[in-house]
A and B are shown apart, each in its own frame.
Chain A
Amino acid sequence: MHFDIAALPQQFVNGLTLGGLYALIALGYTLVYGILLMINFAHSEMFMSGAYFGLLWLNILSELSFFTQTAFGLVLLYMASILLAMVMTGLLGVLIERFAYRPLRHAPRLAPLISAIGVSLFLQNAVLLWVSSRSIPFPVKFPVLQYTVARDAAGSLHLLVVGAQEHLTDRLGEGANAILQVSTLQVMIVMTTISLLIVLDTFVSKTRMGRAMRATSQDRDAAGLMGVDINKVIALTFFIGPALGAVAGIFSGMYYGNIKYNMGFIPGIKSFTAAVIGGIGNLRGAMLGGFTLGMIEALAAGFISTGYKDVIAFMILILVLIFRPGGLLGESVVEKV
């Protein structure tokens, strides 16, 4: 235990970044659960595949000089890679739904879960065998700046931007230490996440297709009778969830610097925890849960123990499921006949 109140703002920023990633993945779990009442265990592999698709497109598009010569081109390069990876991962999700889950739609509840575990095992090993079993570096081609609040040796506060190749001590002299550092990547992750969340929320609450999704989640049969194409809605759900997961995967690759075939497992379980904290099946709940979990985990890693930070997330999952299975924003579920 080393409680240092001065580290609090930094942990807060780290937690926000982590929370953004969790929220993006948690949306995939919650969307599928809301509509099919099923835990899509393979969703963690969507996150992983997204990162690999992102890397693939980044490598392909980097061959074109248009994307690498100007700063604007670099921005376009990342945007295009992310978009293409989103589409590919989304299509993968739709494909998985079509072949692994649709035949089981009326099967007992555990059947799709077991099938999903199979899909997860399959995808992980497909990447392991056909791409690489080692972790691959994920390139960040633009300069990452650190927006820093620091105190120099004399004790006065400074607000400055530290470049990628510099150290804080180069700018402020020996004895300077940072109070708070926010990197370009963190700003980018949080901004993109929040805008995607707003877009999704608007889509679900305002558009015709979103209304069809809400109707399906409330009562699949009745929605079908009202002319909603159930299969289309489910396919769309399985497109959106993995597409958002892909964004999280790419950001995670950029943030941590590398990607690996089994990178999805732990974030997957944690994001599921986030979805449960917020109330599974509830979109805003998943966003809230993601940021809550990110915050808790950053604080736990900073102030308790990094070795046990995963244990803390799992404990939260178990406790929430036992004591408040409906989550923060969900209704309590009563099993009746």
Chain B
Amino acid sequence: MGGSKIELRTNVQGSKLTPKLIAIYAAIAVLVVGLPIYFQSTGNVFMVRIFALVGIYVILALGLNIVVGYAGLLDLGYVAFYGMGAYAGVLFGFVFQKLVGGAASPLAEYSYWALIIPATLAGAATGVMLGTPVLRLRGDYLAIVTLGFGEIVRIALTNNILELTNGAAGLPAVGQAIVPAIGQQWVRDTFSTDTFVFSKDLFWYFIIVMLCLFTIFIIRRLDNSRLGRAWVAMREDEVAAASVGINIMTTKLWAFSLGAVWGGIAGITYAYWVGFISPESFNFMESVLIVCMVVLGGMGSIPGAIIGAVIIAGLPEAIRGMAQSEVLSGILTPEQASLVGDYRFLIFGGLMVIMMAVRPQGIFPSTRRARELTSDDVIIAESNTDLWEVEHKTDTPHSL
């Protein structure tokens, strides 16, 4: 096999904190905290919203990265879990309001914090429910089935299933309310000055950043765990993994439901931040975009997923947003900036094709995944395709 390049490290991510790394982390931290506050102080709430939205996509991309990157299962219906989390969060919220005595009750403000775990569990339950029957399927069939599932969820929501979802008009319906989470008013009162308003969007941005950090922490731990190694083994060779005692079904199911967990968290957070959800927020294009983020950034890589989310969800919007303020107006006219927004899907589509041909490991690849995907390890790659060919030669004589 490839030989000298492969070195064994027990702790895959155990890089030491060099001064250079510390400087990079500090710079990122300053940007992440400072920029939105700067934009808020200039009154550019649009940019603050973009930062928060990018945060939501970072959580989603990291979650999907478990499924696509670590376990190697292409999930084209990931928004189903996102939608499940959002709808479960809001619907449970209505029940919670009933229990504590109406939307005006002071306890109702706790609903986001009280419901984040139930909503997450709803996402995970959907993952297990879908995963149990379909995970036996081969990779490309699995992709199509998850796509079908995502569409079923969207159509069911649009058709007002069980009279709960209010159809295409979305939630909350007339007479219902999503109560703002506790703390929102307090920070506004405490930290606002004459010129600076600590807005709702900024408040949610910081909650989302916390959630992102939590997600990164958990996923790093997962990556180094027994389960994480089982995912990698399974992705690289399912049969070999099974033969060393990895239960393929359980391992896949864990990947699927843990991915769904982050979909659920992102869903309920989005719902309580925006205060409105409709089935159109959870369409197939969203799934494709999230897959695109993971692929572009680098499958199986945490910084990759984050960068993918920032580029795909943030960059076009940020260019559009900044062209309206004075920062970019010297370089781009607002018309040109809005063209960037219009062309983004075209560009992402082209990028996916080019990435697959030129750099399948993504911008910021995980070292292991890069070794797998590049043609340096000719021996491994060739023998694998041969195995794959043989398997189809003997078992599926296609009578066209």
Shortest distance from the beta carbon of A269 to any chain B beta carbon, whole Å: 7
Chain B window 228-242, contacts with chain A (Cβ cutoff 8 Å), 1 for yes, 0 for no: 000000000001000
With both chains docked as a complex, state the minimum distance between the C-beta of A87 and any C-beta of chain B, in angstroms: 23
- Is there an interface contact between A107 and B360, defined as CB atoms closer than 8 Å? yes
Does A110 belong to the interface (CB within 8 Å)?
yes
- Contacting B at CB under 8 A, from A120-141, are 120-126, 129
Among B239, B291, B295, B381, the one with the most A-chain Cβ atoms within 10 Å of its Cβ is B295
> Given contacts A122-B349, A333-B396, is CB(A317)–CB(B137) below 8 Å?
no
Is B288's CB under 8 angstroms from A117's CB? yes
Give the Cβ gap from A252 to chain B, nearest Cβ, in Å.
19
Number of A-B contacts (CB under 8 A): 160
1/0 contact trace for B43-74 toward A, CB 8 Å? 00000000000000000000000000000101
Cβ of A110: which chain B residues have Cβ within 8 Å of it?
A: 72, 74, 139-140, 143
CB atoms of A115 and B139 under 8 A apart? no
Q: Mark A82-108, 1 if CB is under 8 A from B, else 0.
A: 000000000000000001100110111
B395 adjacent to A334 (CB under 8 Å)? yes
CB proximity to B under 8 Å, residues A165-202: none
Closest to A205 in B: B400
List B residues 126-169 near A (Cβ within 8 Å): 133-134, 136-141, 143-145, 147-149, 151-152, 155-156, 158-159
B131 smallest CB distance to A (angstroms): 12
Q: Which of A194-245 contact B (CB under 8 A)?
A: 204, 213-214, 217-221
B352 surroundings in chain A (CB, below 8 A): 114-115, 117-118, 121
A111 adjacent to chain B (CB < 8 Å):
yes
Give the secondary structure class of B's interface: helix
Surface stretch bound by A, among B20-28, B82-90, B328-336, B383-391 = B383-391
Enumerate A257-294 residues with CB–CB distance to B below 8 Å.
Answer: 265, 269, 272, 281-283
A311 in contact (CB, < 8 A): yes
CB contacts (< 8 Å) of B395 on chain A: these are: 333-336
Q: Across the two chains, which residue of chain B brings its CB closest to A39?
A: B140
Contact B140 A121 (CB under 8 A): no
> Quick check: is A38 within 8 A (CB to CB) of the other chain?
yes
Q: Does A71 contact B (CB under 8 A)?
A: no
Q: How far is the CA of A204 from the CA of B399 in the complex (A)?
A: 11
* Chain B interface residue bracket vs A: 35 or more
- Interchain CA distance A265-B393 in the complex, whole Å: 32
Distance from B129 Cβ to chain A, minimum over Cβ atoms (Å): 12
In contact, A100 and B387 (Cβ under 8 angstroms): no
B373 beta carbon closer than 8 Å to chain A: yes
A282-B399, A334-B395 given as contacts; is B356 within 8 A of A129 (CB)?
no
B394 at the interface (CB under 8 A from A): yes
Chief secondary structure at chain A's binding surface: helix
Q: Do residues A331 and B396 form an inter-chain contact, with CB atoms below 8 A?
A: yes
Smallest beta-carbon distance A203→chain B, Å: 11
CA distance A321 to B288 in the complex (A): 22
- Closest Cβ–Cβ distance, residue A153 to chain B (whole Å): 38
Among B98-106, B173-181, B195-203, B339-347, the one that faces the other chain is: B339-347
- Interface size for A (C-beta < 8 A) is 62
The residues of B that contact A308 with a CB separation of less than 8 Å are: 155, 159
**B10-32 vs A, Cβ < 8 Å mask (1 yes, 0 no):** 00000000000000000000000
How far, in whole Å, are A64 and B151 apart by their CA atoms in the complex? 44
From B284, B396, B397, A265 is in contact (CB under 8 Å) with: B284
Asked whether A18 is an interface residue with its Cβ less than 8 Å from the other chain, the reply is: no
The CA of A61 and the CA of B215, in the complex, are separated in Å by 59
CB-contact partner of A38 in B140, B145, B288, B393, under 8 A: B140
Also in contact, A113 and B353, with CB within 8 A (given A214-B400, A282-B398, A310-B155):
no
**Distance in angstroms between the alpha carbons of A115 and B350 in the assembled complex:** 9
Interface residue ranges, B against A (CB under 8 Å): 72, 74, 76, 133-134, 136-141, 143-145, 147-149, 151-152, 155-156, 158-159, 239, 284, 288, 291-292, 295, 342-343, 345-346, 348-353, 355-357, 360, 372-373, 381, 385, 387, 389, 391-400
Enumerate 23 A-B pairs (CB-CB under 8 Å) in ascending A order.
Answer: A31-B400, A35-B400, A39-B144, A104-B356, A104-B357, A114-B356, A115-B357, A118-B355, A118-B356, A121-B348, A122-B346, A123-B349, A204-B400, A213-B400, A214-B399, A281-B398, A310-B155, A314-B151, A318-B134, A322-B133, A322-B137, A325-B141, A331-B397
Known: A123-B349, A269-B144. 14 other contacts (CB 8 A): A104-B357, A106-B385, A107-B360, A107-B373, A109-B139, A114-B356, A118-B292, A118-B352, A121-B292, A122-B346, A129-B343, A311-B155, A314-B148, A337-B239
